[in-house]
């Protein structure tokens, strides 16, 4: 969702700086809010791209007041109705997540379709995700695969990762481990966090490739360092079983660290699994190792 104009880049940069200042110095929040409100008001008289830029800045900033979120959505609706594809995509995301508006999957689908028809690959991937997960629409893996394929053909790396997952699992497509591996590898090399995790899983299980725990851990850690909960959990399991190699005390410390971080995931199932793993370790591992792992987790959280 990148707009190439200098106006958009400068406005987004300014908004991110202002959001950072507001986060560090709450006493300046009123000044930041005033600047954002002024930007939204000025954008009202601009073209669709300027309106999109102002709306994007407000919607992506930290702690934007509800009234400004509503104003940003209204501005986005205006630019989307003018046929601005990036606005149509962002509006779809906003409706899907209920950010600044009441969540409305039907309107999300409508807006994302409009963007996809204009060639927006992020929208194509988002439609595929809705169909794959049954998020507000009936689950349809075959239709999801088609949207992922369209976006992947245009170089969308997240769509490649999603399509690779479908091929690896035979969801909506004929199962093809080699094709799934190639797509996953390409997306992982491009830095897609979920693909990095999936590639780690492929190496750990030895699917379509020779089993290699060291490579599995390497890919898990790349995704884990980006805060991806499933990768944090799986890295923890490799360390906890001693499969990572090296001194066992350090492996157990790393296991506690990654389990602790995974336990903060928004996914309740993953959260409970991680907490169960920590409980299991507390019952069997010396207290100083547990304390060291928890301290390492706090340090990681502080720096990320």
pLDDT for 151:
97
pLDDT (tens digit, 9 = 90+) per residue, 103-149? 999 999 999 999 999 999 999 999 999 999 999 999 999 999 999 99
**Average pLDDT of span 250-276:** 96
What is the pTM assigned to this prediction?
0.83
Average pLDDT, the chain: 89
Secondary structure of the chain as H, E, C letters: CCCCCHHHHHHHHHHHHHHHHHHHCHHHHHHHHHHHHHHHHHHCCCCHHHHHHHHHHHHHCCCCCHHHHHHHHHHHHHHHHCCCHHHHHHHHHHHHHCCCCCCCHHHHHHHHHHHHHCCCHHHHHHHHHHHHHCCCCCCCHHHHHHHHHHHHHCCCHHHHHHHHHHHHHCCCCCCCHHHHHHHHHHHHHCCCHHHHHHHHHHHHHCCCCCCCHHHHHHHHHHHHCCCCHHHHHHHHHHHHCCCCCCCHHHHHHHHHHHHHHHCCCCCHHHHHHHHHHHHHHHCCCCHHHHHHHHHHHHHHHHHC
């Amino acid at each position: 969702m990148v707009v190439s104009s200098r106006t958009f880049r400068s406005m987004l940069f300014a908004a991110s700086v202002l959001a950072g200042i507001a986060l560090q110095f709450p006493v300046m929040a009123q000044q930041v809010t005033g600047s954002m409100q002024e930007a939204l008001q000025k954008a009202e008289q601009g073209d669709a791209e300027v309106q999109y830029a102002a709306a994007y800045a407000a919607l992506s900033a930290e702690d934007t007041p509800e009234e400004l979120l509503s104003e940003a959505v209204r501005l986005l609706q205006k630019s989307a109705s003018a046929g601005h594809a990036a606005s149509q995509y962002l509006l779809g995301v906003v409706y899907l997540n209920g950010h600044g508006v009441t969540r409305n999957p039907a309107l999300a689908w409508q807006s994302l379709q409009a963007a996809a028809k204009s060639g927006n690959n992020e929208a194509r991937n988002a439609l595929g995700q809705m169909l794959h997960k049954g998020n507000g629409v009936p689950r349809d893996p075959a239709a999801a695969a088609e949207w992922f394929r369209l976006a992947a053909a245009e170089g969308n790396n997240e769509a490649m990762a999603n399509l690779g997952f479908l091929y690896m699992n035979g969801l909506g497509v004929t199962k093809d481990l080699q094709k799934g591996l190639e797509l996953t590898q390409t997306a992982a090399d491009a830095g897609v966090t979920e693909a990095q995790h999936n590639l780690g899983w492929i190496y750990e299980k030895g699917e379509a490739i020779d089993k290699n725990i060291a490579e599995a851990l390497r890919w898990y850690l790349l995704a884990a360092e980006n805060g991806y909960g499933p990768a944090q959990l799986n890295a923890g399991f490799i360390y906890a079983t001693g499969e990572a190699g090296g001194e066992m005390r350090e492996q157990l410390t790393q296991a506690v660290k990654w389990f602790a971080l995974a336990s903060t995931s928004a996914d309740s199932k993953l959260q409970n699994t991680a907490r169960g793993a920590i409980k299991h370790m507390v019952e069997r591992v010396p207290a100083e190792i547990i304390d060291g792992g928890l301290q390492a987790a706090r340090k990681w959280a502080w720096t990320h």
